[in-house]
Amino acid sequence: MVKPSVTSRAVKERALFEGFQKVGIVRAGPLADEAARLKEWLDHGYHAEMSWMARDVEKRLDPLELFPQARSIVVVALNYYTPDRHQENPATGKVSRYAWGDDYHDVLKTKLESLLSWIHEQEPQAAGKICVDIQPTLDKAWAVRAGLGWLGKHSNVITPEYGSWVFIGELLLSLDLEPDEERVEDHCGTCTLCIDACPTQAIVEPYVVDSNKCISFATIELRAATLPEPIQQGLSGWLYGCDICQDVCPWNRFEEATNEERFAPRAGNVNADLDEILELTPETYAERFRRSAMKRAKLSGLQRNARALKSAALDPSA
């Protein structure tokens, strides 16, 4: 085995230079510990209509199935918190914090491309593959293994420095880099605030979310013409996504404002005007949400959600 000329320390320093807040390195290999948990979650149908979660399971559990040259995985975390606050206004719908600014897929991908380009300059023979959420990788599992944080009871990764307001990405590399061995201890303790606060009881047990009951899943991924009745009753003003389990998490009191300008809230993306959403056409929708993560819900989904919120405002007892 030829030792690469670029070191783990240099890669980490460059990742921080690119704007990531945290970075860790792990050896590429099967996620044996996660296999049984993933199978159980899928067997319960907790992935709901997200059928892609049941596809390519081997690739999710083993990065070598996705990128055979992989020897190391560089795992990064990018803080996206901004200090803006939602308004409790029945004429508007609340938007999940992660979608306030530019699409995080684009932001992380650009930064990881820059990091990979720098690695190529140091090690021209290096091969790499960028993973940002849409590839079949278990992002949260790799973040925990890389020592970036621990898996909270709401199933989000919690970092000691930035809470859970972070995006996760990976760079699979053909280089044998020195891995990080130390992991972050689970600091959730006896706290159940996230479980207790969920209006639809989607956190069915600590660390396990049933997507069928989750407001985020229903308002973003669900393609049904109407929202399920339990979701409609528990919407709590959410148009796109839901942050309740993160908002109540004590570890998010350590939040710090991001220095990434592309995550600054766009106009109308913290609270969206419901009438404006309902008046959108395919053309104005495409323009309004260009390079925004909110495109994920599709125009039909956003307007469905807006109708549900307006109906709830007219009949609060519904």
- For residue range 54-73, what is the model confidence (pLDDT) as tens digits? 998 999 999 999 999 999 99
Cα gap 151→141, rounded to integer Å = 8
What element of type H or E holds 157?
strand 157-158
- DSSP, collapsed to helix, strand or coil, labels residue 129 as strand
Name the residue with higher pLDDT: 75 or 253: 75
* pLDDT of residue 175 exceeding 90: yes
Q: What is the pLDDT of residues 210-251, one digit of tens each?
A: 999 999 999 999 999 999 999 999 999 999 999 999 999 999
Q: Among 105-119, 217-231, 254-268, 304-318, name the one with the lowest average pLDDT.
A: 304-318
Q: What is the pLDDT of residue 1?
A: 43
Rounded-to-10 torsion of CA 216, 222, 224, 226: 0
What order of strands is seen across the sheet that includes strand 238-240?
238-240, 92-95, 271-273
Query: Residues 6 or more apart from 218 whose CB is under 8 A from it?
Result: 227, 228, 231
Q: What is the pLDDT of residues 263-296, one digit of tens each?
A: 999 999 999 999 999 999 999 999 999 999 999 9
What is the percent of the chain where pLDDT is above 70? Answer: 98
* pLDDT of residue 170 exceeding 60: yes
Q: What is the pLDDT of residue 312?
A: 87
Catalytically active residues are: 133
Cα gap 223→301, rounded to integer Å = 7
The pLDDT mean for the chain works out to 96
DSSP 163: B
